[in-house]
Amino acid sequence: MEITIQSIHFNSKSELNDFITDKVAKLAHLFDKIECASVTLKLEKSDTRENKVCDVRLAVPGNDLFVSRQNETFEAATNAAVEALMEQIKRMKSKLMEAQ
């Protein structure tokens, strides 16, 4: 599975990229038909603080899976996004099993 990481309006460190790659690569163990993953990191500034946003899109046959999560750190946002994608994958796999 090819993983693309894009950071908008900042340069991400290699440690962060490695962390994200490791987390997202684990999704391939759940579903072997994932073609690629696109991760977008953004900084959203509000009046009081700066939120980190992690968007993850998985290209799978049929409809792509997409999750967007925000938190105080990119690591926490990535963890939340990966957990949400795990749930989506489980639901999708159960629907595929029922259809067969």
Read off φ and ψ for residue 79, nearest 5 degrees: -60, -45
How many CB atoms are closer than 10 A to CB 85? 25
**pLDDT given for residue 49 in this prediction:** 85
Task: Mark the ranges of the chain whose per-residue pLDDT is less than 50.
Answer: none
State the CB neighbour count (10 A cutoff) for residue 87: 10
**Model pLDDT, residue 48:** 84
Distance CA 41, CA 64 (A): 18
State the amino acid at position 42 in one-letter form.
K
Assign a CATH topology to domain 2-99: Double Stranded RNA Binding Domain (3.30.160)
